[in-house]
Amino acid sequence: MLLPALLAGFCLVFAARAEHASGEREALTPHYRIVLQIGPAEAMYTPTEARLRHPDVGEIMLGGRLSAEIGGLGHEPAGGPVPDERHLELHVVSRATGKVVAEAHVTIAIAGPDKRWNSVPVARMYGIEAGPDDLHYGNNVRLPPGAYSVRASVNGERAGFSVTLE
């Protein structure tokens, strides 16, 4: 399937795209299977914070940066949750080995209804409930309902996704 014309100028290397029942989007590049998931915002903790607090849910952040819209690790911003905040995850699997790529150079950008591209600060993390096998890249981002295009680059290989959020 071809990418939307909106992404045509981005010189994408793209072998396939599929939508899974859970709302995931998948792209194949020459070396990676890249799966995009967007769900509810998650509390994010450093490994030290997680050892001290023993949270049951959320994300353990192994490296990278938190979104500026987040008040702090494992905390809601002062004044409560950010409206329309969601958790964007990019799972990267080697096509050659079938294993999660744990140390990739990942960039993510999103364009919404206004068609302006914004970079997402990328953190490397895993879900507390799923454990280290859930290693992925992403962040909490503010995404009001609407149609979005997402650009991802993994070690220089690019993929694009189209999603509509309610």
Residue 45 belongs to domain with CATH number:
2.60.40.3340
Provide the CB-side half-sphere exposure for 50 (13 A, CA).
Answer: 18
Domains: count for the chain: 1
Residue reference for tokens 């981005």: 10
Task: Give per-residue pLDDT as tens, 37-52.
Answer: 999 999 999 999 999 9
* Alpha-carbon span 122 to 67, nearest angstrom: 8
Mean pLDDT, the chain, whole residue set: 82
The whole domain housing 78 covers 5-165
Return the pLDDT at 106: 98
Q: Is pTM beyond 0.85 here?
A: no
Residue reference for tokens 């994010």: 44
Question: Which helix (H) or strand (E) is 141 found in, with range?
Answer: strand 136-142
* Alpha-carbon span 142 to 145, nearest angstrom: 10
Nearest-5° angle of CA 59, CA 38, CA 74? Answer: 25
